[in-house]
Chain A
Amino acid sequence: MTILRQSAPVIFGRKFPKITIDQEKCTVPFLCKKCLQACPIAVFFVERVMAKEKRLEEVDPRIPGNYVVVAERRDRCTMCNRCIDVCPVDAIKIEV
């Protein structure tokens, strides 16, 4: 049985931008959410830090370190640097 799902062409061997987020500076991303909402294609992904003993608990996004933001879809980053412009703590660095 053929299952053909057309997707955007994947360009193999392409190097994606390296996006680093300084976790020392970026402590409450879920409250700040500026980069998450400024990015045109939603490169960033914020998730709760899942400590094993806390996984059945509610966590407070106001407490530093409970949430972490990662550049999950850096393949779609155009290096427009909007996230860098809006970051209030200068935590984001993008390199080729």
Chain B
Amino acid sequence: MCYLCDEYGNPEFGGGIWYLNPYNYSRNMYKLRLPGEGHKGVEASPETGESTGPTTADLLNLIEKDDREGFDRLVKQMDEGMRQGGGGQVLPLKDAEKVMDLCSPIGLIACLCRKNWRAVDERSENEYTCMGMGVGMLKWERWPERYKGGCKFVNHEEAKEWLRELDRKGFCHCLMMFGAPYIGGFCQCDFPDCNLIRWAVDFGFGVLKSHYVAQVDYDACNGCGICASRCQWGALKFEVTTKKASIDAFKCYGCGVCETGCPRKAIELIDRKSLPALAEVW
């Protein structure tokens, strides 16, 4: 069971899937002030969240010191911290479109990860690769540095069109919580320019895998290799022996970017729970 559904799902909506529960997008879930030292409420800059919490550098120091216990403890702590800012779940495009009908307002903004990792400066409306949702977006002007270039508010249909366009380019979609279970952001990620993916792939914490897992239909796959360039999680490769795409389901995050990119519809997203060995792999 996905622990986010366990805690934040509502059987009345979307079969208990947490991100299809409209309550998790509602105004009264939005927290102006989060508890704890690392969060300073409205005065905190969303650039860093004014976080005083642990960083990747702390993790690396523990690895160098061969401190396994400390490392595990810190990973747990950072995983917990992600629930307060930035953590969430990977979604395939079909579910991402459902989410677009639940949240409002929707603002397109510049991606902070790409700014940090590659110094990409998204300054015009056509370049934005990140999305903020909900009442939090109404005060974007408070933080001119974070939202340099502004914020483009779009309606539900425009947002879906934007998502399809980014999906076509090869970005995968990760929902973000800001004060669990409030859902306030929607990352469009690729490796290695995304913090969420890097932490998940390298250290195994943060974002949860989606409710799906990709499977290849070997009869339909002709080995064109297009999907191999679209996997951001290191789960899909072109297998030379069989001349087909090969997916490691334990590494697959179920983002579905390989599925949407396949010209022969040879990749299918199936329900994670339908594979007993994967039922607890999130």
Chain A residues at the B interface, C-beta cutoff of 8 Å: 1-8, 10-16, 29-30, 33, 36-37, 41-42, 44-48, 50, 55-59, 72-76
Q: How far is the CA of A33 from the CA of B68 in the complex (A)?
A: 35
Question: Are B145 and A58 touching (Cβ within 8 A)?
Answer: yes
Question: Are B71 and A3 touching (Cβ within 8 A)?
Answer: no
Contact among B50, B56, B251 with A55 in the assembled complex (CB-CB below 8 Å): B50
Q: How far is the CA of A7 from the CA of B99 in the complex (A)?
A: 28
Residue of A nearest to B194 (CB): A42
Question: Are B64 and A57 touching (Cβ within 8 A)?
Answer: no
Complex contacts, A55 vs chain B, CB 8 Å: 43, 45, 47, 50
* Count of chain B residues with a beta carbon within 8 Å of a chain A beta carbon: 44
- Interface residues of chain A: helix, strand, loop or mixed (majority): loop
Indicate if B240 sits at the interface (CB-CB under 8 A). no
Complex contacts, B48 vs chain A, CB 8 Å: 47, 50
Question: Are A73 and B198 touching (Cβ within 8 A)?
Answer: yes
Indicate if B25 sits at the interface (CB-CB under 8 A). no
Q: How close is B215's CB to chain A, nearest CB, in angstroms? A: 17
Q: How far is the CA of A37 from the CA of B118 in the complex (A)?
A: 5
Question: Are A7 and B203 touching (Cβ within 8 A)?
Answer: yes
Given contact pairs A41-B192, A73-B56, A8 touches B202 in the complex (Cβ within 8 A): yes
Complex contacts, B282 vs chain A, CB 8 Å: 3-5
Q: How close is B58's CB to chain A, nearest CB, in angstroms? A: 12
Indicate if B182 sits at the interface (CB-CB under 8 A). no
